[in-house]
Amino acid sequence: MSLLQNAWIVAIALNSILLAIAVIAPKKLLTPAGLIHAGILGVLLWGTLGWSGYVVMMVYFLVGSGVTRIGMAEKEAAGIAEKRSGARGPENVWGSALTGTICAIAAYLLTPTQPQLVPFLLLGYVASISTKLSDTCASEVGKAYGKRTFLITTLQAVDRGTEGAVSLEGTIAGIVGSLVIAIVGWAVGLIDLTGIAICLVAAFVATNLESVIGATLQNQFDWLTNELVNILNTLIGASVAIAIALLFYRLT
């Protein structure tokens, strides 16, 4: 049996065990449908990237779930909390991870034929997750602790939880969140030290562009849901990171 076959068997076995544990756990971080989709995501990530890619996503999920619950009672009272008290459904799973999954699958498929492209895709993978945790931290910490909240396009003072709103507290939390994922990505060998800096820049750009989208477009189009905006957010983060890396590669 080949190593590739072993990786997929391990992926299925591991995620089946984790899925069973999550079903009986008293604290629900995912809805029933969310659990199934998260299991599919887990199999895909372990099968394509191995344990290293899986660890990066698990850190995002655990930290992001924890951050979402910061000040939950106050946010629910103000009507600005995540639905289902932060429990993730399928739309949240793929809104957060679709871009990263595409990068992972592409890296897996191109490894035998075009290995020179794989480092860029791995950087895109880490950057997309770094971007998503940046967005989650910025939003949730800003809603919980933001003292002064401004609309990113006009700098007009607005209420916490307003689409497109930013705060100093949220911005700092977003930078820290992106750094956490970038360091994990480096620690497991998916990116190098330069990649950490690239992920920070990409996540900062993407998170602020998402705020611009929220302030200008999201309320104008019913189809532009939070989940679709999340996909755009992570896609921007991955694209910016890969573009920077390609430019750096050419310059060096």
Instruction: Tell me the pLDDT of the chain averaged across its residues.
Output: 89
Per-residue pLDDT reduced to its tens digit, 190-210: 999 999 999 999 999 999 999
pLDDT band (50, 70, 90) for residue 188:
very high
Per-residue pLDDT reduced to its tens digit, 41-83: 999 999 999 999 999 999 999 999 889 888 776 666 656 555 6
Contact 177, 166 (CB under 8 A): no
Contact 73, 145 (CB under 8 A): no
The region that residue 50 occupies, defined by phi over 0 for left and psi between -120 and 50 for alpha, beta otherwise, is left
Specify the length of the chain in residues.
252
pLDDT at residue number 1:
47
Per-residue pLDDT reduced to its tens digit, 223-233: 888 889 999 99
Q: How far apart are CA 100 and CA 240, in angstroms?
A: 14
Q: How far apart are CA 189 and CA 2, in angstroms?
A: 23
Look at the pTM and tell me if it is higher than 0.95.
no
Higher pLDDT, 80 or 37: 37
Q: How far apart are CA 133 and CA 200, in angstroms?
A: 11
Taking 70 as the threshold, does the pLDDT of residue 3 lie above it? no
Residue type at 167 in one-letter notation: S
Beta bridge partners of 151: 165
